Amino acid sequence: MSAFRPLSVSLLCSALLATAGRAQNAPAAPPAAPAHGHSHTPGAASHTSGTVTLDRYVTSAAPFPRNQVDLAQSTTVLDGRSLLLKQQATIGETLSAETGISATSFGPGASRPIIRGLGGDRIRLLENSVGTIDASVASPDHAVSVEPFLVERLEIVRGPASLLYGSNAVGGVVNVITHRIETDLPTEAVRGGFEVRGGTAAHEFARGGVFDFALRPDADRAIVVHLDGFRRSTDDVRIPGFAESARVRAEETAHAAAEREPAPDFARGRLPNSALETESGAVGLSYVSKEFHVGASYNGFNSTYGVPGHAHEHEEEAGAAAGGEAAGVRIKLRQRRTDVQAEWHHDHGFLRGARLKFGHAHYRHTEFEPDGTAGTVFANKGHDARFELLHGDERPWAGALGVQSSRSDFSAIGDEAFLPPSVTRADAVFAFEELKQGTLTWQFGGRYERTRVAPDGGRTRRDNELSGSLGAVWKLNPDYALAVSLTHTGRAPNAQELFADGPHAGTQAFEIGNADLGAERSLSFEASVRRRTGLVTGAVTVFANRFRNFIFEQPTGLVAIEHDGAWEFLPPDDEEVEEHGGGLPVYRYVQRDAKFWGAEVETVWHLHDRSDWQLDLRLAADVTRAREGSRHLPRIPPARLSAGLFWANAAWSAGAECKWTLAQNRVAANESPSDGYTMISAHLTRVLSVGRTQWEIFVRGTNLANEEARPHASFVKDLAPLPGRGATAGVRMKF
């Protein structure tokens, strides 16, 4: 079935029924915008669906808080109960079910978001608007150094956010928001909470807590101390059937028969080498007054996880017998990070505030071979800093001028180091302005960015790129808004695209960069119709992104084998490849003109919306297409549809959702197609108030049909499926 057929039906139904929405559903008053920072008040989300109310404030798409309906770009917000029920071990998997967002799905320990088909260095991952400063961009098997467990809020900007955050935000931004540095005057002397949860799919056990206390607070100022910590541990993940796909099993069985060898004993039931342990802790100290706050925090993040893929049961036993922890590579990660933030603000005059954010981190991870010996060591030492001046009072102007500077000293050392050590430096100036004219709001700005990549022993690469954006939001009436944006972005190639040259154990490939790559430039368009109140709320969005000199990894059709200390590239049917028992597929970074386009529908049907209880039906769909010339680009997520029913009252909430991921047959050369799959989930929560404490007890079931699911965007889709049927239960307490 064509992916566009169900999507077009959803679009038509949503548009027609939204237009026919009942007038008696009185428009809800918009929530008061947080003046600075975020509220820490516990409690469930105001709607049972949790994410598509279009009445949430966002701080990641503009220099100042704006309601989702008032932004030229599409956004998603996860907090409260919606975040509690969707939390996974990684940011990528936590967001993978959101409209327009997929994940690299490189096992339970490592997963980055993919937004509208774009991932890697085109998606900017932030912690409190500052880069994560890790090695996750270099490879999909490298974990993001942020754990979702104690996150207060996730904000996602779909589409280019390069004006504020840099040219590598051409695909979007994921901003992980914590309150390790306090931004608001506390309303009580002590507050905090803890959470404990366990899961059946991987014998997961996670626990953590947050504690804030104010030293000598008064009505005008306070000093706030923050402490938090968590720990998560899992065993190997339970899967519905075999780890390897039917295609891989057939190929390996046929090869064994041709070589007169016993058939492989394929792993099933559990995904070998998928266990993980993660822990983190932080301390923060802040001074807060009515017009000024400044603070610093220090946190540590440790994670040990397996990189699953291609481990037969007898190989796993052999690896353990040899002293290794599992069959396959395991990664031990360590990051230590310091953040400093300060902001001054007031309500009079042209200059309304100034904001400084700075993050500095030491990151290191070691990839251990199956026999337990240390292999490649990746390290990154760097910083990310930004300073903004806010001006205007929105009558009719408001805006910000800013500068940003970042530095990354990155190295990969070991037998399989496929990248030379390099230092990347980026400096930029930017402006974002907003002009209100009655029912029309204009949002526009520009950014000039200088990038310098200096590899050890190689030629330094310098790029100067200019980006610009123009958007408009038209309030058609109190219910509807039309948002349109046009963005031009220039992105310089990164160190991996320029200088990669060697075998990469994580992706099981031989990667070759190109030092002569030019800058990548894109022109992006987005149009969205949004409805904020009525029987149906949500948005219908279409987007297109045309790239000149788009950089991507292209499979060459060759395999690399090591012979007498040197690598040879040969056809896969070459006799020498057979003698070596196979080789690594060769990928080369190339540039082509490319285009991405698609559509997203996210709607909530408020079947019953009263003060005593709510009943919502959520319908959503998204599709992305991507080509370079007449050829499909690799690893583009297929179209998806979802439908869910959610009920809630003051104490209870329950819901069930079904997500259909269609088959992906639009594949690049030397890329295999992927089957579709259906994922069914359900949840039940109970809220209790005991004295000054609030308790939320929850249970969630995932993949209830025990479906074999292999995401097309995953490098290891044929070797590592998503987890099978599982249940997670836990309790969260806040005081």
Query: Between residues 531 and 324, which one has the greater pLDDT?
Result: 531
In a domain? residue 52: yes
Decide: helix, strand or coil at residue 366. Answer: strand
Q: Are 421 and 456 in contact (CB under 8 A)?
A: yes
Half-sphere exposure of 666 (CA within 13 A, CB side): 18
Give the long-range contacts of residues 576-583, CB within 8 A, separation 24 or more. Answer: 583/559
Residue 46 has pLDDT above 50, yes or no: no
Average pLDDT of span 47-75: 79
Considering all CA atoms of the chain, what is the largest pairwise distance in Å, rounded to the nearest integer?
Answer: 84
Residue 77 has pLDDT above 50, yes or no: yes
Residue 492 has pLDDT above 60, yes or no: yes
Per-residue pLDDT at 374: 86
Per-residue pLDDT at 20: 37
Average pLDDT of span 478-504: 93
Lowest mean pLDDT among 117-131, 323-337, 456-470: 323-337
Tokens of 594: 């490319």
Per-residue pLDDT at 147: 85
Q: Are 490 and 457 in contact (CB under 8 A)?
A: no
pLDDT bucket at 580, cuts 50 / 70 / 90: confident
pLDDT bucket at 315, cuts 50 / 70 / 90: very low
Lowest mean pLDDT among 75-79, 252-256, 460-464, 725-729: 252-256
Q: How far apart are CA 331 and CA 317, in angstroms?
A: 19
79 CA to centre of own chain: 15
Per-residue pLDDT at 493: 95
Q: How far apart are CA 317 and CA 326, in angstroms?
A: 8
CA dihedral for 149, 154, 159, 162, sign (positive or negative): negative
Q: Which of 362-376, 487-501, 580-594 has the highest mean pLDDT?
A: 487-501
What is the overall mean pLDDT for the chain?
88
Q: How far apart are CA 456 and CA 234, in angstroms?
A: 39
Write out the E strands in 307-350.
330-345
Q: Give the residues across from 231 on adjacent strands.
A: 207, 279
Write out the E strands in 168-313.
172-177, 190-199, 204-215, 221-234, 238-242, 268-270, 276-289, 292-306
CA dihedral for 83, 86, 92, 97, sign (positive or negative): negative
Q: How far apart are CA 436 and CA 442, in angstroms?
A: 6
Per-residue pLDDT at 259: 81
Decide: helix, strand or coil at residue 250. Answer: helix
pLDDT bucket at 48, cuts 50 / 70 / 90: low
Residue 21 has pLDDT above 80, yes or no: no
Q: How far apart are CA 151 and CA 660, in angstroms?
A: 28
Q: Are 480 and 529 in contact (CB under 8 A)?
A: yes
Q: Which residue's structure tokens are 């108030």?
A: 689
Residue 11 has pLDDT above 60, yes or no: no
In a domain? residue 199: no
Q: How far apart are CA 711 and CA 140, in angstroms?
A: 14
In a domain? residue 90: yes
Per-residue pLDDT at 31: 37
In a domain? residue 382: yes
Q: Which of 158-162, 252-256, 705-709 has the highest mean pLDDT?
A: 705-709
CA distances from 263 to 249, 269, 718 (A): 10, 18, 18
Residue type at 630 in one-letter notation:
S
- The secondary structure of 422-481 as a DSSP string is EEEEEEEEEEEEEEEETTEEEEEEEEEEEEEEEETTS--EEEEEEEEEEEEEEE-SSSEE
In a domain? residue 197: no
CB-based contacts of 564, cutoff 8 Å, min separation 6: none
| 533-573 per-position pLDDT tens digit | 889 999 999 999 999 999 998 888 899 998 777 888 998 88
Q: How far apart are CA 589 and CA 506, in angstroms?
A: 17
| 88-100 per-position pLDDT tens digit | 999 999 999 999 9
In a domain? residue 27: yes
pLDDT bucket at 321, cuts 50 / 70 / 90: very low
Q: Are 503 and 418 in contact (CB under 8 A)?
A: yes
Per-residue pLDDT at 2: 43
Per-residue pLDDT at 464: 96
Residue type at 691 in one-letter notation:
G
Q: How far apart are CA 682 and CA 698, in angstroms?
A: 11
pLDDT bucket at 328, cuts 50 / 70 / 90: confident
pLDDT bucket at 471, cuts 50 / 70 / 90: very high
CB-based contacts of 650, cutoff 8 Å, min separation 6: 612, 687
DSSP state of 148: G
In a domain? residue 698: no
Average pLDDT of span 48-57: 62
Q: Are 181 and 284 in contact (CB under 8 A)?
A: yes
Residue 504 has pLDDT above 90, yes or no: no
Share of the chain above pLDDT 70, in %: 90
Q: Are 118 and 59 in contact (CB under 8 A)?
A: no
Half-sphere exposure of 62 (CA within 13 A, CB side): 26
Strands 238-242 and 221-234: unpaired
Residue 275 has pLDDT above 70, yes or no: yes
Q: Are 328 and 274 in contact (CB under 8 A)?
A: no
Decide: helix, strand or coil at residue 240. Answer: strand
Q: Are 48 and 647 in contact (CB under 8 A)?
A: yes
H helices present in 324-386, as ranges: none
Per-residue pLDDT at 255: 82
Per-residue pLDDT at 13: 43
Query: Between residues 521 and 22, which one has the greater pLDDT?
Result: 521
Per-residue pLDDT at 555: 84
DSSP state of 257: H
Strands 113-115 and 74-79: unpaired
Half-sphere exposure of 188 (CA within 13 A, CB side): 11
In a domain? residue 364: yes
Q: Which residue's structure tokens are 């579709």?
A: 676
503 CA to centre of own chain: 26
Average pLDDT of span 579-584: 80
Give the long-range contacts of residues 24-27, CB within 8 A, separation 24 or more. Answer: 25/533, 25/534, 25/535, 25/606, 25/609, 26/533, 27/478, 27/479, 27/532, 27/533, 27/534
- pTM (global) more than 0.85: yes
Number of structural domains found in the chain:
1
DSSP state of 215: E
Per-residue pLDDT at 309: 77
Domain that holds residue 623: 4-191+326-660
| 364-376 per-position pLDDT tens digit | 999 888 888 888 8
CATH code of 405's domain? 2.40.170
| 236-269 per-position pLDDT tens digit | 999 999 999 999 999 889 988 888 889 889 999 9
CA dihedral for 524, 626, 111, 729, sign (positive or negative): positive
Average pLDDT of span 523-532: 96
Q: Are 356 and 295 in contact (CB under 8 A)?
A: no
Per-residue pLDDT at 32: 35
